[in-house]
Structure 1
Amino acid sequence: MIRPSTVFSCVLTVSLALVLTVRVFGQGQDRGVITGLVTDNSGAAVPDAQITITNEATQDKTVVTSSSAGNYNSPPLILGTYRVQIEKAGFKTFVRTGVPLASGATYRLDAALDVGSATASVEVQASVVDINVSNPEVSSILSGKYYHDLPAVMGSDIRLAESLLNVQPGYVPMRPNGDPIFRGSQFMSRMNGGQTMAMENYLDGASFGSAIDHNNTQERSVPYDSVQEMKIIDSNFSAQYGRTSGGFVEYTTKSGTNTFHGAAYDYYNYQGLNAKGELVSAVSPQHKENWGFAAGGPIAIPKVYDGRKHETFFFVNLDDLHFKQGALPSFGNTNPIPAFLQGNFSQLLNTSSVLGTDALGRPIYSGEIYNPSTTRNVGGVPVRDGYGFDPVTGLPIAGAANIIPANDPLRSGIASKLAALIPAPDRPGLTNNSFVPSGNKYINPKTLFVRVDQSLGTSLKMSTSVNANTRPSLRQCASFSQGCNFSDPSKYFGEGFYQDITTRTVHQQFNWIIRQNLYNHTTLSFDRWVLPARPVSQGPDWVSQLGLKGLVSSEGGAPRVYLNSPTIPYSHYGESDRVAEGDIANRWQFLDDITWVKSRHTITAGFEYRHHQFPTIGDGNVTGTYNFSNNETAGYHANGAPETFTGDPVASFLLGQVDKANFNVNYRHLQNEQYISPWVNDNLKVTKNLTLTLGLRFDYQGCLSDSRGNQSTFDPSTPNPGAGGHLGAIIFAGKGAGRTGKTCFEQPSKDAWGPRIGFAYRIDDKTSVRGGYGIYYGGIPANQFEGNRELGFSTNPTVPNFTNGFAPAFYWDNGFPASVVKLPPSIDPTIANGQGPTWITKDSKNLPRYQNYSLTIERQVGARLLLSGSYIGNHGTRLPSNGPTLGLLDNMNNPSVLSTYGPGLLGSLCNGTTCPGSVPIPYAGFTGDVAQALRPWPQYTDLSVPSVPTGYSTYNSFSLKAEKRFSAGLIGRVAYTVSKLIGSGAEDVLAGDTSGIQNPLLGSQDRRSLSRDDLPHSVIIAWSYEFPFGKGRKFAGNASRPLDTVLGGWNIAATQRYDAGRPLSITMGCGDICDFLFSNLKRPNVVGPGYSHTGNVLQPGGYLSKAGWADPGSDSFGNAPLRDGHVRSFPYNNEDVSLAKRFTLTERYSMRFESQFGNIFNRHLWCDPDTNWSSPTFGEVFGQCDQPRSIQFGLRVEF
């Protein structure tokens, strides 16, 4: 294994040498290249021609020469418009002006020189539209014109630079329009069939985004007004690119020029014109204002320093947002009705629905609440009496049925105190009865971006980009109907936390022309992301206030409470499990490449190194997480199987029947990892019309290690002394007694070789065909949300439930049993016995592999229109997935146990020496049920497997796109994409897809179906039009100033997106499948059409008809796919429009007034319906998932 210290030392030495000698240049993602062939009129190569490339804005010059084959290639150049002059003795000088250079673009400029005097020149204006004949990549560029004109409507956060990704074909945003907080963000989005949270972002030459997990940028975005353009590379990347699952996004920021330019701006969302949602009676109150200024030009100090002369240019942008309140208009939360919290569950009872009989022959009614104090065995079968039911006949007693008496001795004092803090529902009904308030109570991001460009002659150039922001906020208030509105934190039993994210990013680039056919480029980068957070309920001593017992600390917020019901989706209460934690991500990057132009070859070789460091700074879950289930108050059938549709977690909560619970004694770790990648690429101009691209890249990502070696993992082959030597115990990294001596537990493979091959063929001057194939690899994030790999150095005292609800884990008021509380450090292989330990598998860092292939035909029509058709395919293997895809290895039982033993026996308890039914006891002292005894590792509950490379996907798409370059006041693009994405449910790179499996024998094959983001049809439109009225325009071109003030300067622009619905996942109550196999998913049988035609989606069965599915039986698997393409969510249609008026103030100054309309037609997108077939509200829609029409005004003074 490559040691991080060895690699880091080598890289640091090389970096310092480069910096101290100032000998650097090369290929940067934020720059462009001009290349071509120089020939005479007969087509013969012209060697040693001098090519002078001049930036028309700064007059900065770059000089190169053509090779023996006439091939030339510029070093990377900053974006802008260039003048290219080609000279050779005996030939007329060739001059091309207005050559546009975009981010990451290769501009092909061939020159056929005429014989004559070099003092004579042939000057031609460059074409605005230029087909790609230089490389096979499929890419798009969104220029500064789009950024200036298109609407960027704020959601609950800043105007995001990435929001324009919504007008990119193949890009699938989080439904409906990016995260509602970050409107238009790439959070949970994907590109061209890759996993979500797995695109690679670059800013000014280096990777940009969250290093700790998803590499998304919304929490560290540069100011919107600092972006010059964005390039999206969809397919057939050169070997320079890697560590992505489906595409690259490159942001290039603005740079200064010889002329001072800039703007001051203020955008304000006017609530009075906003629309209300479909399910609320008023517009959600909110305040949004985004102001700032931007300026760029030469650095000039009068009589001291002349930036024009010394070619020193700057750009600076300060951006500030003030946001308060903001909500999605829906009723997505569920609070228990007041009667339930008082112990009256009569509304849950349905005496007309008899689900079976118990061992005493008594009827079992749907919704019946049973008294846990009456739990007993009758003939070896569990039996309970119902509250308010005749204990002999089992019939309901009038006025008492399903009511827990106020003086019941099991009533919990802790629960009674917390029940008083749960707000009443906002509307009638048992489910989705409470309002979803604002996710962000307030947020106040402040961002400063600075860029400096410096030229030191024609051979050495450097560029520095600095981005710093801070984001104080009050967040995640939406899952509690009070929405962080409280005056006393000691009476607030909801979610919500204070957060103050800060980021610092520095990217330094050096560019050096070693000689006129040899160039070097180096980027040094550092970024730091700090996430401190604390719950809003923190402050009061909740431990003393509630009488919580057995805990180690009295810090933290209200205890976390889950009410887990198979039929009612109760909200969660208290401090989020990890909300008080804090994370830091430090990233160092070193990128270097050298380009050599030799004959017809342009060969580039490079090396990339990243070092990541992840300290933690917080303490979460110190007051405990408590799960309550319906099982402790449920009834049992005559065969001993628990009845899923009886009992209720609120009843178990009131009675203090904790199903399982845990709390943390935290350890603040310092984790490290490294990533290296050498690569080489050859761009070969075979002929004037044919270019081949050949490349090879190697990717290696090291394991995640702790600086003190303090890591642990479950190991399936180590004997467990606390389980009679049964295999499966915790092992520990690091040196010392009881430890393995290992640095980490992953064993990353060294097989990530990625060959690339592509071609670009010019059919004629207006038509090209391009294609290619390549293998590339994604990264594995150091997920901040993954399982606990520090167990023993931190501890997580846990009380599981091996009885399937026959008995509680413990009675709440008695507190955590002292036997489970172990303080760190505890180098004990039995420390996780009875818990669900984290398993860091050896192959968890094997990089996801993608095979990418594409074919594009491009045609220029006229002078300004470019048409293209692109097929893109993407096949992913070794994708990070979650633990259930391991099947039986995820500590599940073989489905054969259902028929071999039956539900009654499986639910029966072992007594410490024997198990019922002659089932061998796994080890002495085991007291769980038979189903638990049959698990591969019966000493544990469910395993936590952060990532395992079992996922796969297949993506095919075809896109038609028309791109209109700016002319006659119009710029725009229209694209239509048809696609299909099939996979194993490995949806995001964090392995965070919550979909389980129903058949453990099938593992990941059980989940093969359409992706949740399968989007068969998508249409995107983006355009901007300047009206042809006013001075200098087609109409009223000689208008007087007063008339021009009225008629001139009008602009209208829009982004439009129309997506088909996405496939739904139909599930049902799990019953025996989950109870005894320990899988977490069951699907019904498909028996007919699934759509309903009632016309009212806000009623049960309003969108989906229950008759379309059937119960396959308690011990059988359903045939419904994980996601069904025949049953889809609602289509998404949205139009954002901007109307602007420009006023000329002076020759240099102008003012622009903008009106931006988000969702201008106030279309409503319903949220997905209830897809739990067992739920009484199956097929019902409870909320609106897009934002209603939102209007913001902007005022800009530009110079």
Structure 2
Amino acid sequence: MPRLLQLALGVFTLTGVLFAQSEAGGATVTGTVTDPSGAAVTGAKVTLNSDQTGYTRVFETNASGLYNFARVPVGRYSLVIDKSGFKSVKRTDMDLTVGAMLTVDAALTVGSTSESITVSGDLPLVETTRSQTSTNVDERAVKDLPINGRNFLDFTLLTPGVNRDTRGGDLTFGGQRGTANSLLVDGMDSNNLFFGQSSGRAGVRNPYSFSQDAVEEFQVNTNGFAAEIGRAGGGVINVVTKSGTNTFHGNAFEFFRDRELNANTFINKSRGIVRQPYHYNQFGGTVGGPIKKDKIFFFLSYDGQRNLNPNPVFFNFTVPTDSLSQAGAAELSKYLTPYTTGYRNDIGLAKVDWNLSNTQRLSVRANIHRFTGINFENGGNQSAQEHTGNSLVSTNSLAVNYSKVFGSAVVFDSRFNWVKDDEPGEANSTAPETVVNQSGGSFTFGRNNFSPRYTNSKRYQFIESVSYLRGKHAYKIGGDLNFERIDNFFPGNFSGVYRYNSLADFAARKPFQFTQGFAGDGTDGPLTKPNIAEFAFFVQDAWRVTDRLTLNYGYRYDIASYAQPKVLNPDAGLAAQGLATNRINTDKNNHAPRFGFAYRLDDKGRQLLRGGYGIFYSRTPSILTGTAMSQNGIQVQTYTLSANLPTYPNILSAPPTVSRTPDIYVVAPNYVSPLTAQWNFNYEVQLSKDYAVTFGYLGLHGYHLSRTRDINLFPLYADTATYANGTPTVIYTRLANRPNANFGRISLFDSGADSIYHGAFVQGTKRFSRNFQLLASYTFSKVIDTVPDATSVVVGSDDGKVALDTLNPNNDRAAGDTNVKHRFVASGVWDLNYFQRYNNAFAHYILNGWQLSGIFNARSGQPYSATVGGNADINRDGNTRNDRAPMTGRNIYTLPSVYTLDARVTKVVPLYKESVRLRLVGEAFNLANRANVANVNRTPFNYNSTTKVFSPVAIFGTASTAGDPRILQIAAKIEF
């Protein structure tokens, strides 16, 4: 047997590959067949067969001895090579992962085809034709690692070069903001193009949009992916959902948390607040199997979550003792009733796969998602229940994939994707929003000023491609058409907003300000339709130049056609600046060439150099173009009154006859799509059968990145001020009036920001063997940018997203908001089944079936700037949130480091002949109960604009929010 194994390994050289021509939603198997002299074998029959579904493909090698199976569904396969006059060769137990290209080269030996050589066992870890930087998160990791909230996208953080974005729930690749990423599910677009996030806004609006138990595996493309994949300047997450097989399989699960299982939060303890009521319940199940053996298969999944949290309501100020203040507080006391926030999340998935023949395959998948965020619209401790409302998500998707093989060299692939993503927000009240300020604090009740609202979208996507093998080249050419239809209804301030300077003023009904919005005559008012039509063409080639060198190169062209705004603001000053509110430029210059290489340093393929360079274009989220459509000073007309106010709680029935200076948004006439230049260089070595290490470098330069800047300002000039102790300092201010007196802010959406990212990483991998697997990486990186942000679209709430001086925003070039200098992450799964041969049945039952798994994450804190309080507007731009403390630069401070350890212990109990199992799970998130500070008080000084004096703030740098405390969770899962 040892001699036979040695012979087999000698004649059957193979390499597991995941390379730059990665398949979006499938895998590729390719290789070269040679005779004993090393010459190419033409006409050898190569048969690929699925061990799980019976799916079979047949190929005959060409004149170069090559074969190529494109768009192969993920799963376990065997490969047989037959040629008259040679012994048959069979490779078994080949696991094809999403995006993989498995290279199986075979050297045949002379003999009869009735004689065969079979090779089984694990494939080499070093992937010898991959040029991109990517990582696969396999089925075992998805199933067995602890994940807080069961959002599988969080597993992306296990890979190098990926961090949390500062916009909650988003991820950052190469320092890019979350809007630059793309999520592909079964090879098709699963993104919300309005908000620039995943469909359903998973992790932001709802906890997840696909069940973790419905995900087979996924690939994280960090840098240098193929021309087939586009519309992302950051990273791409390539997901495959589960399918049925010839064996019935499934599960039923229940996860549970309660207040008694959790530690109190850091903020609660610092304020003497006891643990609050809390209840979390997650449940569901899956089932899959054959409809007709080897032909038709089904898979069904349901996942539900119920999560309730208390929302205490209180004043964040001291009530003065005078009678009017006391009366105002008494009147507001009815709003100080705590209420409940929470999740109701329901997801159902159905999938059918049909092997129509050995040359045709059809797959259809539907996913239905319903989410209610209870009192999510505008909650908080200083927000009454009537000031919030439910946030809803209703997402339906249908994905169809058909593939057809013509002869041995051509594969046609056709995909259709339909997604309907509706995201309305409800209101709990019809009364106008009312804000009562007092002693630096505030309290709000009445309808929040933008509800009820909705953002509804429909997607129709068509992807057609042809793969063709010729000589040593594997070509692929195709097109990708995506049509997005969006209705966005955002009635900001239409229900009226009252503002009071104090409790006493509220009691006396003396508001200092009233704001109300109206639809302009003949316009759609708060309704916009920022539709997008996206067209893409790509061509790519994988060229096996030699046995050691593979070149992966391609070209992609993208064009996005935006619906044009209907309204032109005729202001002469705007025209003089070349600004037209009814025009959005169409960028026709989106050429994206890409090149990569992989070079094997030794004959055995244990050492490899890989690298590449390419151009990648991002999308512009429609929240930006939609804002330009409505906020032009005409379509939506907002009036802010400080005299002749209506009587509270009445609102105006028609626009008042007063002049106004509106704030407007307009797209720069030369606006173009954001793009990044990406490059990578890696050295990978397989240390032993199951261990590999990669040393890598990632580079990214962002060009034409989106940002918002107010251009209706006079230049800054230096002025003097003092600290409270009399020490003089310099401030930068400007004339208080506006160059164009017809407007307040003229916020320009331009494409002038840029960024640069450098990251070095080392990644260690141990595949599952001897009951244990490990994935660990350390990344040392830095990102520098000029304040890019494609989501600064609302005056007031988004004011902190812009530069200090929006006339010269590049002066704020500094460490980016997403900068994380050091990051280490390790994850592992350990099956404690070491007592299989133990003679005592009871001891065998007790000691076996245990599993330990965990994720450890340690990273540097993200940077922040020191801002000025006291409601100051030092630079006189109408924005109090972008003023920095005197003589301090952008992002010169850093939040504390973050350390988390999530752990899981599992006991598997056989129930019926080992085929039915009960899995008992205990999980702990933030096991050490570390107080990971998420934000601090960022104001070192308050500023008095009258006396021009800075007064110190004692709590500067102290924690204001923190991450989750230790959370314990228990679960039971039945598997069959």
Q: TM-score, normalised by structure 1?
A: 0.71
Q: Deviations over 1:196-226 (max 9, x none)?
A: 2331001111011323222325146111101
Aligned to 1:359: none
SS at match of 2:72: coil
Q: Deviations over 1:449-489 (max 9, x none)?
A: 0111101111000111110011123133775327666xxxx
Aligned to 1:168: 159
Matches within 5 A, 1:384-423: 423=336
Cα offset, 1:117, TM superposition: 2.1
**Contact 2:372-2:393 at 8 Å conserved across structures:** yes
Matches within 5 A, 1:264-279: 264-278=252-266, 279=268
Matches within 5 A, 1:418-429: 423=336
**Contact 2:530-2:622 at 8 Å conserved across structures:** no
Cα offset, 1:669, TM superposition: 3.9
* Segment of structure 1 superposing worse, 1176-1185 or 223-232: 1176-1185
**Contact 1:479-1:572 at 8 Å conserved across structures:** no
**Contact 1:1061-1:1131 at 8 Å conserved across structures:** yes
Aligned to 2:668: 841
The letter for the 1-side match of 2:38 is: G
Distance (whole Å) between structure 1 residues aligned to residue 799 and residue 58 of structure 2: 53
1:524 to 407, 416, 435: 416
The letter for the 2-side match of 1:101 is: L
Distance 1:997 1:793, change over 3 A: closer
Q: Deviations over 1:823-850 (max 9, x none)?
A: xxxxxxxx99511122133334x21010
The letter for the 1-side match of 2:154 is: S
SS at match of 2:962: coil
Aligned to 1:906: none
2:819 to 984, 989, 1014: 1014
Aligned to 2:725: none
**Contact 1:713-1:789 at 8 Å conserved across structures:** no
Distance 1:837 1:618, change over 3 A: closer
1:1146 to 894, 900, 912: 912
Cα offset, 1:119, TM superposition: 2.2
**Contact 2:709-2:803 at 8 Å conserved across structures:** no
The letter for the 2-side match of 1:535 is: A
SS at match of 1:789: helix
**Contact 1:714-1:729 at 8 Å conserved across structures:** no
Cα offset, 1:568, TM superposition: 3.1
Cα offset, 1:748, TM superposition: 1.5
**Contact 1:198-1:989 at 8 Å conserved across structures:** no
Aligned to 1:656: 510
2:712 aligned with 1:891, yes or no?
yes
Matches within 5 A, 1:308-323: 308-309=293-294, 311-323=295-307
Aligned to 1:751: 589
Aligned to 2:71: 76
SS at match of 1:166: helix
Aligned to 2:739: 936
Distance 1:1069 1:1141, change over 3 A: closer
The letter for the 2-side match of 1:67 is: N
1:211 to 193, 207, 224: 193
Aligned to 1:1123: 891
1:85 to 80, 85, 98: 80
The letter for the 2-side match of 1:771 is: G
The letter for the 2-side match of 1:1123 is: N
2:234 aligned with 1:246, yes or no?
yes
Cα offset, 1:711, TM superposition: 4.2
SS at match of 2:827: strand
Distance (whole Å) between structure 1 residues aligned to residue 540 and residue 646 of structure 2: 64
Cα offset, 1:898, TM superposition: 7.2
**Contact 1:1022-1:1053 at 8 Å conserved across structures:** yes
Distance 1:560 1:462, change over 3 A: farther
SS at match of 1:957: strand
Aligned to 2:99: 104
Aligned to 1:1042: 842
2:861 aligned with 1:1061, yes or no?
yes
1:561 to 413, 435, 438: 435
Distance (whole Å) between structure 2 residues aligned to residue 1155 and residue 673 of structure 1: 46
The letter for the 1-side match of 2:850 is: W
Cα offset, 1:713, TM superposition: 5.4
- Matched residues, number: 910
The letter for the 2-side match of 1:136 is: S
Cα offset, 1:995, TM superposition: 3.3
Aligned to 2:217: 229
2:958 to 1171, 1174, 1181: 1181
2:701 to 870, 875, 885: 875
The letter for the 1-side match of 2:588 is: K
Larger radius of gyration between Structure 1 and Structure 2: 1
Distance 1:1004 1:1172, change over 3 A: same
Higher RCO, Cα 8 Å, sep 6+: 1
Q: TM-score, normalised by structure 2?
A: 0.87
1:290 to 282, 299, 314: 282
Distance 1:1014 1:714, change over 3 A: farther
SS at match of 2:809: helix
SS at match of 1:699: strand
Distance (whole Å) between structure 2 residues aligned to residue 714 and residue 335 of structure 1: 46
Distance 1:418 1:617, change over 3 A: farther
Aligned to 1:380: none
Cα offset, 1:1040, TM superposition: 4.1
Cα offset, 1:610, TM superposition: 0.5
Matches within 5 A, 1:316-715: 316-325=300-309, 335-339=316-320, 423=336, 441-476=341-376, 479-481=379-381, 492=386, 495-538=387-430, 542=431, 558-561=432-435, 563=437, 568=440, 570=442, 572-616=444-488, 619=491, 621-626=493-498, 656-659=510-513, 661-665=515-519, 666-705=525-564, 710-712=566-568
SS at match of 2:320: helix
**Contact 1:131-1:858 at 8 Å conserved across structures:** yes
Distance 1:990 1:478, change over 3 A: closer
2:975 aligned with 1:1198, yes or no?
yes
**Contact 1:459-1:514 at 8 Å conserved across structures:** yes
Q: Deviations over 1:252-281 (max 9, x none)?
A: 111111110111111111332211123344
SS at match of 2:858: strand
* Segment of structure 1 superposing worse, 208-217 or 527-536: 208-217
Cα offset, 1:423, TM superposition: 4.3
* Segment of structure 1 superposing worse, 40-49 or 569-578: 569-578
SS at match of 1:338: coil
Distance (whole Å) between structure 2 residues aligned to residue 1028 and residue 113 of structure 1: 40
SS at match of 2:192: coil
Aligned to 1:915: none
Residue identity (%): 20
Distance 1:1184 1:561, change over 3 A: closer
Q: Deviations over 1:764-785 (max 9, x none)?
A: 2211110000011000111189
Distance (whole Å) between structure 1 residues aligned to residue 535 and residue 323 of structure 2: 61
Distance 1:603 1:792, change over 3 A: closer
Distance (whole Å) between structure 2 residues aligned to residue 649 and residue 673 of structure 1: 48
Give the aligned CA root-mean-square deviation in angstroms: 3.2
Distance (whole Å) between structure 1 residues aligned to residue 225 and residue 504 of structure 2: 54
Distance (whole Å) between structure 2 residues aligned to residue 199 and residue 653 of structure 1: 50
* Segment of structure 1 superposing worse, 649-658 or 950-959: 649-658
Cα offset, 1:532, TM superposition: 2.2
Aligned to 1:777: 617
**Contact 1:153-1:1192 at 8 Å conserved across structures:** no
The letter for the 2-side match of 1:622 is: F
SS at match of 1:941: coil
2:774 aligned with 1:966, yes or no?
no
Cα offset, 1:881, TM superposition: 0.8
Cα offset, 1:41, TM superposition: 2.7
SS at match of 1:958: strand
Distance (whole Å) between structure 2 residues aligned to residue 749 and residue 211 of structure 1: 17
SS at match of 2:810: helix
The letter for the 2-side match of 1:77 is: V
Unaligned runs of 5+ in 2: 1-20, 520-524, 721-733, 943-952
Distance (whole Å) between structure 2 residues aligned to residue 337 and residue 621 of structure 1: 29
Distance 1:999 1:617, change over 3 A: closer
2:245 to 249, 257, 264: 257
Aligned to 1:1163: 930
SS at match of 1:76: strand
Distance (whole Å) between structure 2 residues aligned to residue 285 and residue 1071 of structure 1: 36
**Contact 1:1030-1:1049 at 8 Å conserved across structures:** no
2:658 aligned with 1:852, yes or no?
no
